Structure 1
Amino acid sequence: MSSPLPARPPSVLAACRGAFLGVALLSGLINLLYLSGSIFMLEVYDRVLPSRSLPTLVGLCLILLALYLFQGLFDAIRSRILARVGAALDEDLSQPVFQALLRAPLVARKDGGDGQQPLRDLDQLRAFLAGSGPAALFDLPWMPLYLVVCFAFHPLIGLVALAGALVLVVVTLLTEVLTRAATKEAAAAAALRNGLSEGARRNAEVVQALGMGPRLGARWGEANGRFLAFQQRTSDVAGGFGAMSKVLRMLLQSAVLAVGAYLVIGGEATAGIMIASSILTSRALAPVELAIANWKGFVGARQGWRRLKELLRATARAEPPLQLPAPCRQLSVESAGTGAPGSQRFAVQDVSFQLAAGAGLGVIGPSASGKSSLARLLVGVWPTWRGKVRLDAAALEQWRPEDLGQHVGYLPQDVELLAGTVAQNIARFHPDPDPQAVIAAARAANVHEMILHLPDGYETQIGEAGAALSGGQRQRIALARALYGNPFLVVLDEPNSNLDAEGEQALTQAILGVRARGGIVVVVAHRPSALAGVDLVLVMNDGQVQNFGPKDEVLARVLRPVAVGPEPKMPNVTPLKVAEGLGAVS
């Protein structure tokens, strides 16, 4: 079973509430222990030096050593807790984010952006939690403690420290305001840049053959320049304010020393108070400086978390339905309609027909008539916007995707295999496939002998997207994948586009084999040879059914031979064309 997608992504962080409370408690202890250095200097200047007591100095040093050891221990524990919170977040969200990544193109329009951005967001969030940024944020609330101690030393020292703290807080807020928009734009530009490079890489052969490299390089360079410009703006703002905060902290520390010296001269403070207040002021403002230094990472992690929440909410599933029995009787399409994800336009609409077990349906029609959209509707890739698609009596949305996939075989128009072995691809990457089922699927697609002639047979690594195979080999192995496990419904979209005569004959035998065992086959075709194994034909035009019925009757009504020139015809192929002015639905 796949990991369910959380309906409320923030609950993942809420589950770490106990760990965050522990980090807050440790931060309180650490900041209390940070007072050790100031108190030590106060005692040395006001007690040890006037009394010249060596035992007192040794005792203070031992106490300070113990306090520093505890401080270091608590700091290390806090860092380990935050690192484990990041790891726990990754463990809880990695599978839901990956599944959401797979579902995102099916529920939203593909915009050509960076498809791997959610995984990068998760990595950035985990890295931020394991870094020094969260520790600085947990230390910030303790700044008033140091200011209270400064006021306890002398009101004037407290006022100077408070003024410096306010200035640094304003610097922090300015950093947030001035970097927010630039960071968001940089992320969008990075997504566009990565999407362009990934698209060009996937289509490297076309890019090379058509000489498109320089033009695509120019587009990528423009997007990259935009990304660098926004990133540079963010870095400049954060770096400038970071440098300013360092200067202000050193200036404030010197100002506190000067005020302390003035008070010592006036007899209103001791030398110990002067030194201790300077150290204390520096410590009070350190979290602000550290927060500014980590602000870029903080903003990036925050925006990544927002994108992850939006992705998970957009692709969240309801509670998994009850597991249904395997379908075995019929496929029913009831006034169904659908369209591309993110679109408002129906690609197919008001489609109705019914197929009994053992039926074979050929879907034909002109280009852009809705044939492939109908195929996606039948296998549940595109959800039904209207009407129902049912296997036996159950609508497709009543099935869990992992359960429905066991009863459906699908060969898309654009064949995509995944990096791995031939056997893994046929078995749909099942962790423990039945070897006999893999071989049976290969035999059903008539590719068993072809696979045995590959370098390592079924264990041959096919490379990314099946790059080690020819187009025909990829299509036939994808057909075996569609037939794996003897699915009840098999939908084949242009299954013979890359096949030779031998491959087309094997395709026909595979279609007849599915029908003979009581399955249902739907074949989307342009070439009539793909229809040899079906007994019914459905004609699509403009997203609607124009004709449906027995193959011979429908073909006689709506198809006519196309006149061919003197060029020799391909063997066993009769060019046909959908006649203009198709008749009404039969």
Structure 2
Amino acid sequence: MMLVYDVVLPSHSISTLLGLLLMVALAYSFQAGFDLLRTRTLSHLGAAIETDFAPLIYRIISTSALRGRPQSESLQPIRDMDQVRGFLSGSGPSALMDLPWVLFFLAVLSFFHIWLGVTTLVGALLLIALAFLTDIKSRAPARLATEFAARRSSETEAIRRHAEEIKVMGLGGRAENSWLAVNRHYLATQQQLADISTGLGGIGRIARMLLQSTVLTVGAALVIDNKASGGVIFASSILSARALAPIDQSIGNWRIFISARQSWRRLDAQFAALRPSPSPTSLPPPEKTLAVEHVTLMPPGARVPTVIDASFTLNAKDAVAVIGPSAAGKSTLVRAITGVWPLASGQVRLDGGALDQWSSDALGTHIGYLPQTVELMEGTVAQNIARFEPDAPPELIVTAARTARVHDLILRLEHGYDTLVGPDGNALSAGQRQRIALARALYRDPFLIVLDEANSNLDAEGEQALIEAIFAVRRRGGIVITVAHRPSMLRAVDHVLVMGEGRVRAFGPKAEVMAKLNKQARAAQAAAPLVQT
């Protein structure tokens, strides 16, 4: 700009003008290549960071779900990592990396004249002060916006899962009012955050334009005072704009930067809380005993244990029915046995080895688990039975289905074993899901089979198939633990465990325990006062 006004125009030199154009074209070509390289590097960096931390994020999500955290909280790490990756792949880091160039442009302006440098420096300090003010004002609204976003997601998921109850019992208005209240809070915090960001950002842009005009004014005054050439007026305006551009861009990206910083802090705290999981020494497959030793367990979030000092031992070919009134601790006990929830005290041992002496994947091959609420994973029937094992042998899948007496039922489905079950298995009926989940529990003949009310959705045919499957497991030397509410399930077991108020009230051979319970029932009935009408 200075050469065009100070050299080219007075001399009318076309060759000099073309030479300047070539120089500028080369400079811009370098800048374009550098910007492309930097953008692609940052994009790959964001993807690489997410790839490196993906195993930790999976462990956080899995641990949160096992601890009973709501879905919105369990999925927060994914949103946080997306926020971090989005920031790294955007223009924010480029603006921050360009900040050191502010000093370079200030030095060049000062070389032209000290007052040009001082004027631009004052403007830069003003914009930096606006950036810090934006940071301070945005912290609290950004934190609240994240919290209300999680609450809104949690309420949305609850409405989706309980849509039938809400419709049937006339809860639509109350559910809607609750969701709208949370949504209003979320929108209010988002609006507050946007007002701060756009308001201070707008002030910054106006200040920058005013500063450019001020620089023009200072340059013109220097030319009038014969302290600079005419080209300095335009050159200083362009240089001041380039000097302040990184600061202005940083202010514009400050909201994203704050969100990414808060996301990273949450992730960092969760990463630090994860315990290292070294691979334990491989143990031989269990084939003899299951021992529950003085186990006490509290469900996630609870303050009172629901299983207290439970102890019993089972040998190969044993099957035990866990019975007792509601809220006696039956389901909590089987979760302790399978290792789903961490123990407050005590140990569960397979052939003498505590559960934590196996890795999670290795232990899973020795346990078949049918939970109280059955939800299949999206995929085919065969994939669910094989627990999504890659290249699972078809003969083992069919064997598990035959043992669960569900082979013929599967063949009657539209595509047989290749039928898609849909999200959570919703394409199947509750009874079909439960019987396929039973086949999944029996896949590869695990030593320990744990069934939590496995007959809750079964008809008489399905229940008979379940009983025969339990007998098949016992014949091959496995152990079966089943939570039973129907007396018919007692036919398949040889032991009974009675739970009451979180404690093992009785345990032993079926005949002895049932005789004891019948005796207690007769005594209680005899002691009851007669009711006169």
Q: TM-score range by the shorter chain?
A: over 0.9
Partner of 1:90: 50
Partner of 1:56: 16
8 A contact 1:125–1:301 mirrored in 2: yes
* Deviation by residue 1:298-331 (Cα, 9 ceiling, x = unmatched): 1222222222233333344422212222111111
8 A contact 2:60–2:77 mirrored in 1: no
Partner of 1:490: 449
Looking at structure 2, the residues matched to 246 and 560 of structure 1 have their Cα atoms a distance apart, in angstroms, of: 87
Of residues 39, 42, 53 in structure 2, which corresponds to 1:79? 39
Partner of 1:173: 132
Divergent runs of 4+, >4 A: 559-563, 577-581
Looking at structure 1, the residues matched to 75 and 68 of structure 2 have their Cα atoms a distance apart, in angstroms, of: 16
C-alpha deviation, 1:143, in angstroms: 1.4
CA shift in 2, pair 1:58/1:179, >3 Å:
same
Matches within 5 A, 1:86-485: 86-106=46-66, 108-111=67-70, 113-485=72-444
| TM-score, normalised relative to structure 1 | 0.86
CA shift in 2, pair 1:264/1:244, >3 Å:
same
Looking at structure 1, the residues matched to 394 and 56 of structure 2 have their Cα atoms a distance apart, in angstroms, of: 30
* Deviation by residue 1:457-477 (Cα, 9 ceiling, x = unmatched): 111112112212221111111
Looking at structure 1, the residues matched to 525 and 212 of structure 2 have their Cα atoms a distance apart, in angstroms, of: 86
C-alpha deviation, 1:57, in angstroms: 1.9
Partner of 2:488: 529
SS of equivalent residue, structure 2 residue 100: helix
AA in 2 matched with 1:476: R
CA shift in 2, pair 1:580/1:413, >3 Å:
farther
Matches within 5 A, 1:24-43: 41-43=1-3
AA in 2 matched with 1:245: G
8 A contact 1:359–1:515 mirrored in 2: yes
Partner of 1:38: none
CA shift in 2, pair 1:193/1:241, >3 Å:
same
SS of equivalent residue, structure 2 residue 505: strand
CA shift in 2, pair 1:380/1:511, >3 Å:
same
Looking at structure 1, the residues matched to 227 and 360 of structure 2 have their Cα atoms a distance apart, in angstroms, of: 77
Number of residues paired by the alignment? 527
* Deviation by residue 1:353-395 (Cα, 9 ceiling, x = unmatched): 1111111111111111111111000011011221111111211
8 A contact 1:365–1:578 mirrored in 2: no
Partner of 1:569: none
Looking at structure 1, the residues matched to 526 and 154 of structure 2 have their Cα atoms a distance apart, in angstroms, of: 41
Looking at structure 2, the residues matched to 176 and 332 of structure 1 have their Cα atoms a distance apart, in angstroms, of: 57
Partner of 1:14: none
SS of equivalent residue, structure 1 residue 140: coil
SS of equivalent residue, structure 1 residue 333: strand
8 A contact 2:467–2:491 mirrored in 1: yes
C-alpha deviation, 1:114, in angstroms: 4.5
Partner of 2:531: none
AA in 2 matched with 1:368: A
C-alpha deviation, 1:507, in angstroms: 1.1
AA in 1 matched with 2:65: P
C-alpha deviation, 1:118, in angstroms: 2.0
8 A contact 2:64–2:74 mirrored in 1: no
C-alpha deviation, 1:201, in angstroms: 1.5
Looking at structure 1, the residues matched to 351 and 525 of structure 2 have their Cα atoms a distance apart, in angstroms, of: 32
Looking at structure 1, the residues matched to 527 and 473 of structure 2 have their Cα atoms a distance apart, in angstroms, of: 33
* Deviation by residue 1:209-267 (Cα, 9 ceiling, x = unmatched): 32333322221111111111100111111011111111111100000110111111111
8 A contact 1:327–1:391 mirrored in 2: yes
C-alpha deviation, 1:112, in angstroms: 5.9
Looking at structure 2, the residues matched to 304 and 232 of structure 1 have their Cα atoms a distance apart, in angstroms, of: 20
Looking at structure 2, the residues matched to 307 and 515 of structure 1 have their Cα atoms a distance apart, in angstroms, of: 48
8 A contact 1:104–1:315 mirrored in 2: no
CA shift in 2, pair 1:262/1:160, >3 Å:
same
8 A contact 1:420–1:462 mirrored in 2: yes
Looking at structure 2, the residues matched to 408 and 424 of structure 1 have their Cα atoms a distance apart, in angstroms, of: 18
8 A contact 1:358–1:517 mirrored in 2: yes
8 A contact 1:495–1:530 mirrored in 2: no
SS of equivalent residue, structure 1 residue 532: helix
Gaps of 5+ in 2: 529-533
Looking at structure 1, the residues matched to 366 and 185 of structure 2 have their Cα atoms a distance apart, in angstroms, of: 48
Of residues 473, 482, 503 in structure 2, which corresponds to 1:514? 473
AA in 2 matched with 1:365: G
* Deviation by residue 1:448-499 (Cα, 9 ceiling, x = unmatched): 1111111111111121122122211111111111111101111101111111
SS of equivalent residue, structure 1 residue 323: coil
Looking at structure 1, the residues matched to 331 and 421 of structure 2 have their Cα atoms a distance apart, in angstroms, of: 27
AA in 2 matched with 1:214: G
Deviates more, 1:502-511 or 1:369-378: 502-511
AA in 1 matched with 2:50: D
* Deviation by residue 1:527-565 (Cα, 9 ceiling, x = unmatched): 2222221111111111111111111111121247999xx
Of residues 3, 11, 25 in structure 2, which corresponds to 1:65? 25
Looking at structure 2, the residues matched to 88 and 579 of structure 1 have their Cα atoms a distance apart, in angstroms, of: 73
CA shift in 2, pair 1:560/1:457, >3 Å:
farther
8 A contact 1:560–1:579 mirrored in 2: no
8 A contact 1:523–1:531 mirrored in 2: no
What is the Cα-based RMSD across aligned positions, in Å?
Answer: 2.1
